[in-house]
Structure formats: C-alpha cells, structure tokens
Chains A and B, each alone.
Chain A
C-alpha cells in the first residue's frame, strides 16, 4: 500500500515522456507487420487503388486460400516444415553426441577433435569453394544440402559441453558401476538433465532453418526445393513473379495481384516465428550471456 502510493507520487513528466516514447517504439516495430497483414487480407484488385493502412478494406481470405492451393507454394511450405524438423533434430543429435564425447577427458585425440570442430567458427572457406565442394559431394540440388552442412556447429558444442561438464560426476560413476555403457549414460542421464539447454539450442536451430534462404538460392537450381523464405527472396531478387503469372493464366485467381500475394506469403513465413519466439526469450538472454562471457 505504502509502496503503491509512493509509486504513484513518483509518476513524473519524465515517466510520461518515457512511456510515450516506448509506445512509439513498439508501434514502429509492429505497424509494418500489421500493414502487411492488412494487405494480405484485402482483395487484390481493391488493394491496387491504394490507401490501405492498418485494416483491410475489402476483406477476403482468398489470398491465403491460393497460397495453400497453389502447388508450388504448398510444396514450398512442406519443404520448409521438413527442413525445419529434420534440420533441427539431426543436428541436435549429432552436436550433443560430439559435445558429450568431448567431455571425456580420456578420449584419444581429444585435442585434435576440439580444434577440428571449433576452428570453422573463425575461418570460413568462402562462397565459391564451398559451392564447388558441395557440388562434388553431390549435395547441390538436393534436400540434403539443408541438413548435411549444418550437422555440427562449434558454438553449440561449446554451450552443450560446458553444460554437460556441470552435471554431477557421481551420477555417472554410479551408472558405470551398474554397467551402463556410454550411450546409456548419454541418453538416460546427460540428455534428460540437460533438457533446457537442448531445447533452447533446438529452438534456435529451428528458427534459423525456417528463415534460411541463401543456401537455397546458392545451391539449388530450379524450384523443386524452394522454401517459403527462398520464394520471397527470389521474388525480391528477380523482381518478377513467374508463378503469379502462371496462376493467372490458369484463371484460378482473377483478383490476385503480386502485391497481396507477397504480403500473404510474408505473413505465412513470419507467423510461426512470431508465435514461437516469445518462448525462446526465457533462455536466450541467458544464452547470450554465456556467449558474452566466453568472448
């Protein structure tokens, strides 16, 4: 009660200006999304007249229906979801296994392995040699290029390894006495106890996989393995929208315009992230701190 009174009295001009500034800031971040959402829910031909602000004028769900009906877009959504799922699960397994092995002090070749996996964080090979190598490895023009190059990443090894090392050694010792193998220790002790870290890294990976587009543009010819993000990127870079014209020719969508379709695709690409990222918040503040200390 006393505290509340005190607080109320302290509400000064400074506070009001501050609150207003922060609301303006929030609007600057949010309004572009709201505007795009309004466009995406508006009739295409009507949108050409302009003047759509934050609410749709001639409401329709047609644009979204078309996205999910049109084969190339439905396929892109499917590819995006698959690359996110597979591209999160497999790297998570590989990275945590490698990190687990590297916690073993008696591992033969431990120093060599550490350098081997951590050095790529600091030196990159460059675009063209990487492309040529992937091409020689037959990774290009296949779904594998989304997964295989991303199996293990040094930064995640550091985070996982330092977490595994904090686990009490006694647990493991008693497991060994009971005749547990390394794999059993990994799956039954390390992973269950490290769930928060594993989930965080997994979510970050998932967001990264969902958003990636440059690897598609770089390694994939044709549109077989296009993702939602890469379709958006293609539309921006080539400044032509082939499939919109294709669709128009098929007369499936009379009132479809590139503008509203792009808006709808943007929303479809962004929405899952918007829904997921608040859950990340709890962890990433901590994660960034770990990184900062390491630096």
Chain B
C-alpha cells in the first residue's frame, strides 16, 4: 500500500490530470445515475432528495396501468422498427448501387453527397420536411399542378401518414452514412469469385444476387441484431420536432413523453420512473441481443 502511494506521488504529473477528471466524471455521469432514486419519491425541488417523501413503486404503477402507456410503447417500437427495416434495406441497396457504378467520378460524387444529410442538424432536417410537406409546400404544389390533388393536403397532420413520414425522414438522413459499412464489406469480397462467376457466364444482376449479397449477409445480420438492441431506446429528436397536436396519438414516443412530463409538467419523479423503465428494458434487450450476436458470429466464423 505504501509503495503504491509512493508510486502515486511519483506520477503526480499524470495524477494531477486524472484525479480532477475523475471527480468530473463522477459529478457528470455517476451522480445523475444515483439521482434515479427520485423515481421512488414524490420529489420536489424545494424539498430536495433528502426531504421528499418516499412513495415506493407508485410512479411505476401509475405508468404501467395507464392506458396511454401501451400507445407510447407501440409508437416507439413502430417507428424504430420501420426505420430499422427500411433503413437497412435502403442502405444495402445504395451500397450495391454505388459499388456497381462504373464511372469513378460519379461514384465518388454519389457517395459524398449521400453523407450530407447525416451531418446536418435534425433541426435543419425537420425544417426542410415541414417546409416541403406543408400546405403550401413543394409537394402540394407539384401534385396540384399535375392535377392529382385539387386542394392543399396537410400531409403532416395525418395520423396514418406520420410513421411513414418519420421513416422517410430518417432514411433520407442516414442512408448514405449507413451504407458505408456495407460498402466496406462489399469491397472486402475477393475479386476471384467475381471473375470465376464471369467466366461461368453470370450476368451482373446474377453476380449481385448470388455473390455480393450472400457475401455481405453476415454483416447485415450482425448489424441488424445490434440495432435490434436499440429499438426500445430509439431517439426522440425527430418526434419532438415534427410533433403537432393532430398526430398526437401516433407521434408521442417514450423519450418525448419523459421530456414533456418532466420538463413541461415538472413531474420529475414520474418522468424519471418512465425513463428508468425505458432504460431497464433497453439494457435487457441489449444484453440479449449481444448474446445472440456473439453466438451467431461464432457459428459463422467470418
């Protein structure tokens, strides 16, 4: 022990960085984690954690017996899964397309431009969508000009369209970014296989279907499994920004609900309980999914 302290003293130059940074990490990351205990209280800022009354599982019970809860879970899962399925499909298609482009310049251009929306703020992205899909937006004007619509249609205020619009938005934003990993997998395929197939007379479509896709399928499956672990914790920036009262029943997800009840309604304890419920399920999901991924990649040995 003494030796350790001596060593500690000798590396004071390093410890003078690590000790304050550790205190920082505890304050910023770990104190909030402990702060989750207010989920079992009726917390109010005036009384503080020590003075607020303990109520046990009241808030969890309230949340789980609420009729609204099922709707929240449904919305969260629906939008996550739609985004995951169509996002994966679009990213694979884009990767295949970019890989097949023969002109180097076009290839590079398509790739560079495909990343652009990923780097743009969700605020910008949401403004673009509300502008284009609005009553006087580009889509309405085009459809009216060709006579498909005779009066303005409020796309953003339709309950049955909201999930679809959210999916299109997230796919538009992330497809280029998500394609990178598939492109890398495609680049890793040995060219011998293609040459052999070409000699056997396989056309390009055949090569894509029978060589490229099977070769990247381990990557696809692993990524799908990993992403499945995130379906319950799905982001809520999109839903918060694109929200409007007429789509309320389909737009509210757990994350945005926590924000609104906690920050808007100042129901700190209830919102914390809901947040905790979400993170506990997410962690369980993540552990299960990780186990599945491990098992799968061991079996396939790629």
Interface contact B128-A128, CB-CB below 8 Å: no
- Scan residues 81-133 of chain B and give those whose CB is less than 8 A from a CB of chain A: 94, 97-98, 100-103, 106, 109-110, 112-117, 119-124, 126-132
Asked whether B78 is an interface residue with its Cβ less than 8 Å from the other chain, the reply is no
Binding-face segment, B33-41, B61-69, B158-166, B189-197: B33-41
Assuming the contacts A29-B113, A218-B259, asked whether A237 and B241 have C-beta atoms less than 8 A apart, the reply is: yes
Interface contact A11-B102, CB-CB below 8 Å: yes
Asked whether B205 is an interface residue with its Cβ less than 8 Å from the other chain, the reply is yes
A81 to chain B, nearest CB (A): 15
Asked whether B244 is an interface residue with its Cβ less than 8 Å from the other chain, the reply is yes
Interface contact A278-B97, CB-CB below 8 Å: no
Binding-face segment, A57-65, A99-107, A162-170, A188-196: A99-107
Residues of A within 8 A of B126 (CB): 232-233, 236
Interface contact B124-A133, CB-CB below 8 Å: no
A53 to chain B, nearest CB (A): 7
- Scan residues 262-295 of chain A and give those whose CB is less than 8 A from a CB of chain B: 262-263, 265-266, 269-270, 273-274, 277-278, 280-281, 285, 288-289, 292, 295
Interface contact A25-B36, CB-CB below 8 Å: no
Interface contact B279-A29, CB-CB below 8 Å: no
User: Complex formed: what's the CA distance from A219 to B230 in Å?
Assistant: 25
Residues of A within 8 A of B36 (CB): 125-126, 129
From B14, B138, B172, B204, A28 is in contact (CB under 8 Å) with B172
From B101, B127, B242, A232 is in contact (CB under 8 Å) with B127
The 3 closest A-B pairs by CB, nearest first: A129-B35, A125-B32, A211-B121
A62 to chain B, nearest CB (A): 19
User: Complex formed: what's the CA distance from A133 to B43 in Å?
Assistant: 13
Asked whether A78 is an interface residue with its Cβ less than 8 Å from the other chain, the reply is no
Interface contact A259-B131, CB-CB below 8 Å: yes
Asked whether B248 is an interface residue with its Cβ less than 8 Å from the other chain, the reply is no
A145 to chain B, nearest CB (A): 11
- B98's closest neighbor in chain A, by CB? A22
Interface contact A33-B128, CB-CB below 8 Å: yes
Asked whether B21 is an interface residue with its Cβ less than 8 Å from the other chain, the reply is yes
Binding-face segment, A66-74, A113-121, A171-179, A248-256: A113-121
Asked whether B249 is an interface residue with its Cβ less than 8 Å from the other chain, the reply is no
Interface contact B275-A128, CB-CB below 8 Å: yes
Interface contact A18-B97, CB-CB below 8 Å: yes
Interface contact A128-B271, CB-CB below 8 Å: yes
Interface contact B128-A266, CB-CB below 8 Å: yes
Q: List 5 extra interface pairs beyond A101-B17, A214-B237, CB under 8 A.
A: A19-B106, A126-B275, A132-B268, A183-B13, A229-B123
Asked whether B247 is an interface residue with its Cβ less than 8 Å from the other chain, the reply is no
User: Complex formed: what's the CA distance from A25 to B176 in Å?
Assistant: 10
Interface contact A211-B120, CB-CB below 8 Å: yes
Sampled A-B contacts (12; CB under 8 Å)? A18-B97, A22-B101, A25-B97, A126-B258, A128-B35, A133-B31, A135-B45, A152-B24, A182-B14, A232-B121, A259-B136, A266-B124
Assuming the contacts A94-B21, A274-B116, asked whether A132 and B38 have C-beta atoms less than 8 A apart, the reply is: yes
- Scan residues 216-239 of chain A and give those whose CB is less than 8 A from a CB of chain B: 218, 229-230, 232-233, 235-237, 239
A271 to chain B, nearest CB (A): 10
Residues of B within 8 A of A230 (CB): 123
Interface contact B241-A233, CB-CB below 8 Å: yes
Interface contact B243-A237, CB-CB below 8 Å: yes
- B21's closest neighbor in chain A, by CB? A98
Assuming the contacts A25-B114, A113-B22, A214-B237, asked whether A7 and B102 have C-beta atoms less than 8 A apart, the reply is: yes
